[in-house]
Amino acid sequence: MLFSTLSFQPFKKTSGVKIVVIDAGHGGKDPGCNGAIHNEKEVTLAIALKLGNLIEENLKDVKVIYTRKTDVFVELEERAQVANRNNADLFISIHCNAAAKFVTYKDKNGKTQYKTWKDKKGKIHKKEVTNPVPYGSETYVMGIKNEKGKMEVAKRENASMLLEENYEKTYNGFDPSSDEAYIIMSLTTSAYVEQSAKFASLIQSEYNNKAGRIDKGVQRQSIWVLWRTAMPSILTEVGFLTNPIEEKFLGSEKGQTYMASAIFRALRNYKNEVEGKNEKYNDEIENQEALENENLLYQKEHPELKDGSETDVKDIVAENQEPPINNDDKKDIEKYNALIKKADEKLKERKLEDSKKLYTQALDLKKDDAYSKQKLAEITKIEVDIKKGEDDKAKANDAQNKQYNELIAKADKLTADKKWEDAKKKYQEALIAKPGEKYPKQKIKEIEEKQAALSEAQNDTAKINPKDLINNYAGQTKKDTSKKTPSIKGGIEFKVQFTSSDKEIEASSNKLKGLENVGYYKAGAVLKYTAGVFTKPDEAVKYQTKVRDLGYKDAFIVAFKNGERIDYKEALKQVKQ
Ligand SMILES: [Zn+2]
């Protein structure tokens, strides 16, 4: 299968710049190109993080997504897919250039040969020296024409894929070193070349105007990440790490800040243009003091180098290079790496204080370390958010306490007024306002106990004089005089209680129509009316149904022993015996 059959994302219609993907080139096992001191992956990450911060702080309506925020390896295809998946409006890939010179010698036949060296895996590499000649910045958009022999940048940047585990599968057989591959690639052109080129040229002028870069212009080459992104996308080569003077600039905090600011200003202008706005800025970023190019300054001081001669390479390197790394420094690097690893872990576990301490220690070891600074800033932001969350919670708690106290005060007042049901309701509301509070629970329990005691007192048959019962049955029912009095004396009987009244009900009343053996017993001042008299509980149950059918839906069975009301269950027990 040909790599050209890879599926593409549908192109996105852009009407604004709301989502920006920042791609720090290389990372992890892929260092990118190397200078004498710095390597590409660390410089690109530092600039990427600074750029992201500038956007987040100054363009609040823009969301920043990074393809990597740490020193990790990310596949080329994945970098493009991060942008596609997130429906980005702009893709910015940051890289450093290289143009190393190879060390040559004449063999015994007088023929020029490359000096080589073997890596750990036994692979042969050409030996390189730092090359002071090329310097300057250039920005790439997806190319149509790939001129033979002028594809170094595309070939070098695309070669990162060779480090991937399944690169042949992922890239459907694309060979980043083959010229033919680039011809196929150029057949699919991006709909966004024009927009991308507009953005690229804005970047180039910012590099030149403020950051003191030599403008090597906007270039077109078939670079994988540009080819695969379905939105305006650029790849910027911030400068040459192989030029020791430019390397020093790009490796410095100041240089990285200048490069990130330049890309930021270009992005801000591009965004305004796309969104049809005409804003002018007068802020610190806009008014950044313009730099002079340090290579040009150096040449002024060393007229012998004006023609680009390479005679003093060693001197330039020596002048610009930081002291060679000795064993102590190596230990420091190991110590730094260990600190960062641990700090990252602690941050992941949300152990903020621990990770803060570790990043600060790392920063002590490596002055101006962009990564530690970035992480410390992140932690400060998390801490601010946490503090804000706690304040909000405290405010909510205050409101909750106020509501609770008011409800309790009302409930206590209702309790004092003996308005039990209302008091209970208020205590329940208080419990909803502040679940788990003991006081309202306790009060509800007390009220329920009191209510139970009250209803018990109402039903308390002990207060009823059995004589009252017998007497009151007399003459109550005219229909069946034979059953005027309880049928069984000294035994257990069941009756159906159907209503209560504060005064006697006339025997002729419609209320008693259809009922037999009607009588009542007194519970305090209340007369509780019963109907029927049975010795067998099942008969009472049948009669209960009848009474209920007469309209007394709540009719229930009550039991008496020797004319005294007793517990129904107890009565059932005694009847069974
Ligand atoms: Zn690169």
Q: Which residues have C-beta within 8 Å of that of residue 301, sequence separation ≥ 6?
A: none
Residue (of 385, 376, 384) closest to 49 by Cα position: 376
Of the pLDDT bands very low, low, confident and very high (cuts 50, 70, 90), residue 454 is confident
Cα–ligand 1 centroid distance for 490 (angstroms): 109
More confident residue, 569 or 40: 40
- Clarify whether residues 560 and 413 are in a common domain: no
- Clarify whether residues 551 and 402 are in a common domain: no
Cα–ligand 1 centroid distance for 77 (angstroms): 14
Q: Which of 435, 458, 481 is the last residue of a domain?
A: 458
Cα–ligand 1 centroid distance for 359 (angstroms): 27
* Over residues 552-574, mean pLDDT: 86
Q: Which of 458, 486, 505 is the last residue of a domain?
A: 458
In a domain, 82, yes or no: yes
Cα–ligand 1 centroid distance for 50 (angstroms): 18
- Clarify whether residues 93 and 233 are in a common domain: yes
Tally Cβ neighbours within 10 Å of residue 449.
10
Give CA separation, 537 vs 181, 480, 518, 532, 557, in Å.
Answer: 100, 21, 18, 11, 9
Of the pLDDT bands very low, low, confident and very high (cuts 50, 70, 90), residue 461 is very low
Q: Name the residue with tokens 């991937």.
A: 164
Of 113-117, 373-377, 429-433, 458-462, give the lowest mean pLDDT range. 458-462
Of the pLDDT bands very low, low, confident and very high (cuts 50, 70, 90), residue 323 is very low
In a domain, 566, yes or no: yes
pLDDT greater than 70 at residue 465: no
Cα–ligand 1 centroid distance for 99 (angstroms): 12
pLDDT number for residue 470: 42
- Clarify whether residues 281 and 170 are in a common domain: yes
State pLDDT tens for residues 270-288: 999 999 998 889 999 999 9
- Clarify whether residues 454 and 467 are in a common domain: no
Q: Which of 44-48, 149-153, 295-299, 572-576 has the highest mean pLDDT?
A: 44-48
- Clarify whether residues 26 and 154 are in a common domain: yes
Which sign does the torsion angle of CA 189, 195, 199, 200 carry?
A: positive
Residue 63 DSSP label: E
Query: How many angstroms separate the CA atoms of 225 and 440, rounded?
Result: 66
- Clarify whether residues 90 and 169 are in a common domain: yes
List, as ranges, residues with CB under 5 A of the ion ligand 1.
25, 32, 95, 157
Residue (of 218, 200, 297, 226) closest to 76 by Cα position: 226
State pLDDT tens for residues 82-128: 999 999 999 999 999 988 666 666 777 777 777 666 655 566 666 66
pLDDT number for residue 240: 92
Give bridge partners of residue 519 from the DSSP assignment: 530
Task: Give the CATH number of the domain where residue 241 resides.
Answer: 3.40.630.40
- Clarify whether residues 471 and 542 are in a common domain: yes
Cα–ligand 1 centroid distance for 527 (angstroms): 100
In a domain, 151, yes or no: yes
In a domain, 526, yes or no: yes
Cα–ligand 1 centroid distance for 157 (angstroms): 5
Buried residues in 385-398 as b, exposed as e (16+ CB within 10 A): eeeeeeeeeeeeee
Reported as type and span, the H/E element at residue 500 is strand 492-501
- Clarify whether residues 211 and 91 are in a common domain: yes
Of the pLDDT bands very low, low, confident and very high (cuts 50, 70, 90), residue 437 is confident
In a domain, 365, yes or no: no
pLDDT number for residue 145: 61
Query: How many angstroms separate the CA atoms of 227 and 189, rounded?
Result: 8
Q: Which residues have C-beta within 8 Å of that of residue 407, sequence separation ≥ 6?
A: 426, 427, 429, 430, 433
Cα–ligand 1 centroid distance for 247 (angstroms): 14
In a domain, 470, yes or no: yes
Of the pLDDT bands very low, low, confident and very high (cuts 50, 70, 90), residue 337 is confident
280 by Cβ neighbours in 10 Å (0-12 / 13-18 / 19+) ranks as exposed
- Clarify whether residues 425 and 525 are in a common domain: no
- Clarify whether residues 401 and 519 are in a common domain: no
Q: What is the pTM of this model?
A: 0.53
Contact 531, 517 (CB under 8 A): yes
- Token code pair at residue 383: 């801490």
Of 69-78, 140-149, 224-233, 290-299, give the lowest mean pLDDT range. 140-149
Contact 531, 464 (CB under 8 A): no
The number of domains in the chain is: 3
305 by Cβ neighbours in 10 Å (0-12 / 13-18 / 19+) ranks as buried
Cα–ligand 1 centroid distance for 72 (angstroms): 14
Query: How many angstroms separate the CA atoms of 15 and 35, rounded?
Result: 40
In a domain, 325, yes or no: no
- Clarify whether residues 451 and 543 are in a common domain: no
In a domain, 478, yes or no: yes
Round the average pLDDT of the chain to a whole number and report it. 82
Q: Which of 458, 479, 505 is the last residue of a domain?
A: 458
Contact 106, 113 (CB under 8 A): yes
Residue numbers of the domain that contains 435: 395-458
Parallel, antiparallel or unpaired: strands 112-114 and 215-221 = unpaired
Of 295-299, 429-433, 436-440, 484-488, give the lowest mean pLDDT range. 484-488
Give CA separation, 410 vs 416, 447, 450, in Å.
Answer: 10, 15, 19
Of 47-56, 452-461, 518-527, give the lowest mean pLDDT range. 452-461
Cα–ligand 1 centroid distance for 27 (angstroms): 10
